[in-house]
Each structure stands twice: as structure tokens, then as C-alpha cells.
Amino acid sequence: MEPVVVDPGSCLLKAGFAQPDGDPSIVLRTAMTSASPDESSRKSVDLSKIDFVHPVQRGLVRDWDAMEDLWRYVFYSGVGWEPGSEGPILIAEALLTPKSSREQMVQIMFENFNVSGLYAVEQAVLSLYAVGRITGVALDIGHGKIDIAPVWEGTVQHNAVKRVELGGQDLTSLLVMELKKSHHELNLDRATAEAVKEEGAACAEDQVAFSNFAEDCESVEYTLPDGKIIYLGRERYVVGEALFQPSLLGVEEYGIPEQTLRAVSSCVPAENHRQLMENIVLCGGTSQMSGLEARFQKEAMTLGTPSIRPSVIKPPEYMPENTLRYSAWMGGAILAKVVFPQNQHITKAEYDEIGPTILHRKCC
């Protein structure tokens, strides 16, 4: 049976059979609701009275019962597994996932879902696979966090990993706050605010340009779902600027270019730095923001040394358009075509003999 690849993010879960020449067949929000499907589908339902559960927060599973419910829906209603005929699965894991959480995931997969085989790989490694690399730096700007991971020949250099506890959800909150300054009566729900951010947010060319936007900035028109028109001016650039000046979010951290250089400088030996810096992948939904790649490249060049020229790489032309948005899933689909035919995965027999700790030996 074709392997299923699952990448559970803080905002979106991506899943589907391992077919790297297309997008994942299932992309759904990880937020769970306490309402029944019939109730939550009614147009008249009061969403404010529905309790939402977020099983994945800042990249890590926090509610295993809800996560199991979500997986069950994906496996049996989404990809169409039949109970008793489950196939193999490849899981994209968040960086810095605790050992206990990894073991719990394996236990659930084998004991509750009876998968025939399993392999788990960190998202950073998979994102590099998606663009045809095994060495480089994966800069993953997700919904709940930013992960910067140097990867050498398919192995994450954990001593050099940098995590910043901000992401797309924080940028959405910043946009809402900024819009209220210029549109005092505006009251956006979360989903609408995220849609406005995804379409309208952008990065200024540099910090000087951003400062000038405070005085003079051309506004763009945006039509809300209810037909109301709003205008986005300086606020659309504040969102992007927060990635380079986290102090705009009240976070005392370096911007993403300097965080990346600091991560690479922590790697040994120093001879590896050039190859890492010349193979940087910007991935995750927020990485697709207009102007982000050019701004990152410009600042990284300024911060770098004359002998090393940081370079952001793009996916090969034959890869799908959304490769960087779904890079961990895409890389997982590529790797699954190798891992399972070559029997590198954890089998049910191995799990039954050794238990969940087998994961640390076969999926390092």
C-alpha cells in the first residue's frame, strides 16, 4: 500500500499519499470544535459559543486525545483507510520534540491505528529534501514559531538550532492591533484577519524604507467578506517588519537574518559554514509574504562576511507551485519513496518486540 505522509502543523495539517509531484490531498485546520459536525455546519450557529481545541500549539502536540481524533478523521475519512487494512505512514516531526512525545506518537500509531510501518523525520530535513538538498539551513516560519535549523548531510545540527516563539498567529494579532488604530470601528474575526494578512501583508525593502512608510505609504484596497472596503497602508508593512524587528511584537529577539547567521556560526567545523549559508530555504506559510525573500537576502548579505555570500535557494522548476508552503510534506513524499521500499522504517514486528523506544534507533 502507498505510504501516507502527514505533517501536523500548529495551524494546518497536511496529509496524503506519497506523491511528490502534487500538493497534499488533505489540507485542513488543526483546530477542533466541541460541536457536532451537523451543528458546526449550520449557518446560524453562534461560533462564539463553540469551544475550539488546538491540539498542536507552537509546533508541539499539547492535547493527545484531540490529536488522535484528528488523525482518525484523516486516516479513515480523508485518505480512505479501512479498519484492519491500515498502511505505512511517514510523520513530519517538529524540531525539539521531546522524546516522551515522540514515543507517545509511535505508540498511538501502532496500538490505536495498527499502522503497518512508520518512519519519522524532522521537518527541517524534509524541507531541504523538497528543494533537492541534503545540506543547508531550513528557515521555517510557521503559524506558531520560527525554527532555524542547520542540516548537514541529512542530519539536523541540534546544538545550533534556533527557535523563536513567534509566528503567523502573532503577526495576525499585530495586524489586527494596527488596523484598529486606523479603522476604529473595525472588528475582524480571526479567520478574516488571517485572510487579510495573507493577501495584504508585505515586507519593506529595508528598515529605512519601512521608516519612510510612517510618513508616506501608498494604501491598497481590500474588500472584506461582508462587502466593506478597508485600506491597508503602513500596517501591511508592520507585519513583515516584525520578522526583522521582533520588538514590534514586544519580543526581545534578533531578526531572522541575524538569527540564521548565529545558528550557522554555532556549527562546527567552520569549514561547513559556506555550504550551509549558500543553501538557505525559506519555508512555511508565512515565508510566502511579498518581499520577504528579497529583504532577507539583502540583510543576510549585509550581516555576512565577504567570503561567504548567503543565498536563498528555490525549488526545482519541476516541483509544484506550493512546494515551499508545503515543503515538509513534499520532502516527506519524496523520502517515503525511498524509506519504505528499502525497509528502513519501523515495522510492526519491531515495535511489538522493542516498544516505542525503537523510534530513537531507527529514526534519529
pTM: 0.92
Q: To which H or E segment does residue 13 belong?
A: strand 12-17
Query: What would the mean pLDDT of 279-288 be, rounded to a whole number?
Result: 94
Amino acid residing at 242: A
Q: 218: helix, coil or strand?
A: coil
**How do beta strands 26-29 and 229-232 pair?**
unpaired
Backbone angles phi, psi at 65, to 5 degrees: -65, -45
Which pLDDT score is estimated for 152? Answer: 97
Note the pLDDT tens digit of each residue in 342-360: 999 999 999 999 999 999 9
- Average pLDDT of the residues of the chain: 92
Residues 6 or more apart in contact with residue 208 via CB below 8 angstroms:
none
- Ranges 204-208, 217-221, 263-267: which has the least confidence: 217-221
Do 4-129+320-362 and 132-166+254-303 fold alike per CATH?
yes
CA–CA distance, 285 with 221 (Å, rounded to integer): 23
Grid cell digits, residue 199: 493577501
Which of 50-59, 131-140, 260-269 shows the lowest mean pLDDT across its residues?
Answer: 50-59
Average pLDDT of the segment spanning 240-264? 95
Contact yes or no for 106/356 (Cβ under 8 A): yes
CB atoms within 10 A of CB 330: 31
Predicted local distance difference test score (pLDDT) of residue 224 = 92
| Mean pLDDT in residue range 154-168 | 95
pLDDT value of position 305? 84
What CATH code is assigned to 168-248?
3.90.640.10
Q: What is the CATH number assigned to the segment(s) 4-129+320-362? A: 3.30.420.40
- Find out if CATH 3.30.420.40 is the number for domain 132-166+254-303: yes
β-strands 26-29, 12-17 pairing: antiparallel
Q: What single string gives the DSSP state of each residue in 141-200? A: E-SS-EEEEEEETTEE-GGG-EEES--HHHHHHHHHHHHHHH-TT----HHHHHHHHHHH
Angle separating helix axes 256-265 and 292-303, nearest 10 degrees = 50
Domain ranges of the chain: 4-129+320-362, 132-166+254-303, 168-248
Q: What is the pLDDT of residues 80-128, one digit of tens each?
A: 999 999 999 999 999 999 999 999 999 999 999 999 999 999 999 999 9
Q: Which residues, 6+ apart, have CB-to-CB distance to 92 below 8 Å?
A: 5, 6, 7, 8, 120, 121, 122, 123, 126, 328, 329, 331, 332
Q: Among 35-44, 91-100, 187-196, 207-216, which range has the highest average pLDDT? A: 91-100
Residue 191: is its pLDDT beyond 80? yes
Q: What kind and span of H or E run contains 112? A: none
Whole-number pLDDT of residue 193: 94
pLDDT at 184: 76
Predicted local distance difference test score (pLDDT) of residue 42 = 45
Above 50 in pLDDT, residue 249? yes
* Neighbouring C-beta atoms of residue 83, cutoff 10 Å: 9
